[in-house]
Amino acid sequence: MAKGRETKSVLVIEDEADIRRFAHRLLDLEGYQVFEAENGNEGLRMVKGARGLSLVLLDLRLPGCDGWVILDEMKHNPKLSAIPVIVFSASAAEWQRKKALGMGAAGYLVKPLDAASLKQAVAATTHWEEVMSGAVSQNGRYGG
């Protein structure tokens, strides 16, 4: 991360340990503070208790409450609705992608995740949130 920037935090909600660890390591190397939840109930509890969360990476098929429930809860809760969510699923079905985006997801990735796609989606989403919150000045420079 660039010097002077506030560290962004990402919550990865994924029941498959290999995918969770992959995302954690990759985002950690990119300078993000990463938290993990291994099921839907834990993930929802962490989202509700988090302060300053920059992004949620959310698997749609989870034990406990599934990703659809979490996405719906986040987007209908005024305290959580501004947190961007990138969902991922093993399904490449167009109806599923449209449903997730229609429910307010900022992005949709198909598993297996690849490093380039994940980094690009996370960077684009967190940068867009910076712009929308006014953290980037009109000349396009951070803090400038």
Question: pLDDT digits over 27-66, tens only?
Answer: 999 999 999 999 999 999 999 998 899 999 999 999 999 9
Q: What is residue 99's three-state secondary structure? A: helix
d(CA 33, CA 86): 16
Bridging pattern class, strands 9-13 and 33-37: parallel
* Six-digit token string for 46: 């962490």
Q: What is residue 35's three-state secondary structure? A: strand
Q: Residue 70 CB: number of other CB atoms within 10 A?
A: 26
Q: Are 87 and 96 spatial neighbours (Cβ–Cβ below 8 Å)?
A: no
Give the predicted TM-score (pTM) of the model.
0.85
Q: What is the dihedral of CA 69, 70, 72, 77, to 10 degrees?
A: 130
The structural domain count of the chain equals 1
Is residue 1, in this structure, part of any structural domain at all?
no
Q: What CATH number did the domain enclosing 95 receive?
A: 3.40.50.2300
Model confidence at 93, in pLDDT bands (50, 70, 90)?
very high
Domain containing residue 47: 9-133
